[in-house]
Structures are given as structure tokens and as C-alpha cells.
Structure 1
Amino acid sequence: MHILAYLTGYYFYVAVPLSLCHGCIVEVLNFTADQVAEFYVIGQERMSVIEHEFWGYLKPLTKLGWCEWAGAAIFLWGWIHQRNCHAILGSLRQRKRDRDKHVTPTGDWFNYVSSPHYLAEMVIYAGLVIASGGTDLTIWLAFAFTVANLCFAAGETHRWYLDKFEDYPRDRKAVIPLVY
């Protein structure tokens, strides 16, 4: 079962970004072909030094709408909490003598749910849905798969915590505070 879950995750994290690029892949390939052709025609010695105009990098940001900014903020919020939760999990068994001992994680969103890193992943995907304006079916499907997959895994993890630790908080939910 673990290898199947691993392969599913591997496939998901390769396929989703590729599926999101379907609308621009022709443009990317044309740009790449033009750059390669220019390199061969002009030659490496006569290629101009690349000049960086920072306003050129920032200008597209001024054209973003409220959906993109709100989605980016939600994405960042989820990413920060996911990073914090992974740091908490990583710090539980740092010492060699503690490697065989299981400890209840606390701090950040662990005070509310058993699998806050899964909740943070869901928040990240919700940010992508909002940034897309809610119009991209592929992002909605990725979000739905992520929520379903992580809710299932969080339920299993939550049951393990309840079985393993007698003092585990009974009011703590699996992945969605106050709900599940």
C-alpha cells in the first residue's frame, strides 16, 4: 500500500504542473526555438550581454487583479504554516535516543488538528483556485483530489494518535478545525 501511495503522489506532483501548462506550451516551445536559432545565427561571440531591467520584471505584477493577489496571499499563508508544521515534526526526534519514541506534536496548527501540514497543503491549493479566479477546471480537480486524499490520510493519522496516546486531546480534529 505504501508504494502505491508513493507512486500516486509522484505521478500527481509531476502531472499537475504539466497539465497546468497546456495553454502555454506552444508559446514556450516557440520562444525556446527562437532563442536557439538566434544563438546559432548570431553566434556565441557576438551575443549581447544580458541586461537586466528590473522594472521589466516588476511591471507584470502591476497588472494582477485582486484574485491573483488574494490567491498569492493565501498560498503564502499556507506555505508558511506547512513549513512550520514540518519543522515541528522534524524536531520531535532529533536526538538519537528519541528515535524510537513517539511524541505528540504541539505548536502552530497542531494545537487544533492532528495533521496541520495536510491542512496547510489544502490552503495552498485553495490559494491556487482563488488566484485562477475559480475558472480553471484543472486546478479545481487538483484541489478536490488533494482534499480527498489528505482527508483520508489525516483520518488514519488521527485514529493512530487516539490509539497510541491516552492523553491525546479528544477534542482535536483530524484535519479541518471544528469539522473533521
Structure 2
Amino acid sequence: MTITLNQGLLDSIQSIAFKELTFKELHLSKLHLLHLLGFLLFVVSSWKQNHYCIMLSNLRKKKANQIKNTDYYIPDGDLFKFISCPHFLMEILIHVSFSMMSYFSNIPLLSLLLFVITNQLISGFLNHRWYKNMVPSYPQERRAVIPFLF
């Protein structure tokens, strides 16, 4: 199988992917509210995602950081009260923040965002369904990834 690309497409890809940035282009006066909100969303979502992953790993650990057993436990607290996979929601928000900082105009970032949303919603749904099937006491009102919706 051979893939051929025309020279114009290759030039476009090269100009986007390998463009040298100068300090003039990175001047602080070019920052806008959407950049700042996107950056703030990125920082908070990344921190919360790490927090939720630590909460999940601590369900199986003793105080000395050793795994106490391989049983499954129901996480509780914070967003775990409302959804099964808050770490998946945070992953989606991290990618939303990237698109925000590009004014939702960067096609590759929007494509990545669409993929991440699809992937995380499907994975969250499958995790949620597994929990409901395997753990009889699992809270029935809890949603998969998006509080009160999905």
C-alpha cells in the first residue's frame, strides 16, 4: 500500500508542526481570558485527576504503601459520591483546556478532544456497568462519568 501526499499538504504540515516560535510571538500582551481560563482548568483538572487516582490506589493499600489485598472496594467521597469515574471526567477536562487555549480553532486538538471524549465516556460506561454487576451494594444513583447525566 502506498500513500502519496501532495507537496502543498506537506508544506502546510511542516509550517504548522515545525514553525519556530520567537519571543515576540510569545509576548504576555497576547494572552487572553480564554488562555488563562484554559490554563487554570488544566491545572485544577490535572491535580484533581491525580487526587482521584490516589484515592483509588489507597483503597487497596496499608499505611506502609503495601497492597493489602486484591479485593474491590467502592470508592466514596468527593465526586465519587456522584460518578464512578471522576478521573475520566478530569481527563476530558484536561483536553478541553487544551482546546480552550487554542480558541477551539486547532483542528488536530479538536480531533484529539473528540477522541478523548469518546474513549473516556465508553471506558467510564464499561467501568460503571462492571461495578454495578459485580458489587451488589454499589450505589444505583451514581452515574458513570458526568454527574447527574451519564
TM-score range, shorter chain: 0.7 to 0.9
In the TM superposition, what is the alpha-carbon distance from 1:97 to its structure 2 partner?
6.7
Relative to structure 1, is the Cα distance of residues 97 and 68 closer, same or farther in structure 2, using a 3 angstrom cutoff?
closer
CA RMSD after TM alignment: 2.4
2:143 corresponds to 1:150 = no
Structure 1 unaligned blocks of 5 or more = 1-19, 32-55
Relative to structure 1, is the Cα distance of residues 22 and 118 closer, same or farther in structure 2, using a 3 angstrom cutoff?
farther
Larger radius of gyration: 1
Pairing partner for 2:99 from 107, 129, 133: 129
Structure 2 unaligned blocks of 5 or more = 1-12
Write the distance in 1 (CA, Å) between the matches of 2:14 and 2:120: 24
What is the TM-score of this pair, normalised by structure 1? Answer: 0.67
Write the distance in 1 (CA, Å) between the matches of 2:128 and 2:106: 32
Write the distance in 1 (CA, Å) between the matches of 2:89 and 2:29: 31
CA contact (8 A) 1:71 1:127 kept: yes
1:135 corresponds to which letter in structure 2? S
Relative to structure 1, is the Cα distance of residues 128 and 22 closer, same or farther in structure 2, using a 3 angstrom cutoff?
farther
In the TM superposition, what is the alpha-carbon distance from 1:107 to its structure 2 partner?
2.0
Relative to structure 1, is the Cα distance of residues 63 and 111 closer, same or farther in structure 2, using a 3 angstrom cutoff?
same
Aligned-residue sequence identity (percent) comes to: 26
In the TM superposition, what is the alpha-carbon distance from 1:129 to its structure 2 partner?
1.1
Query: Would you say how many aligned residue pairs link Structure 1 and Structure 2?
Result: 133
Most deviating of 139-148 and 71-80: 71-80
Superposed CA deviations along residues 76-116 of structure 1, whole A, max 9, x for unmatched, are 12112101101101111113573221110112221111011
Match of 1:27 in 2: 20
1:89 corresponds to which letter in structure 2? L
What is the TM-score of this pair, normalised by structure 2? Answer: 0.79
Write the distance in 1 (CA, Å) between the matches of 2:15 and 2:72: 44
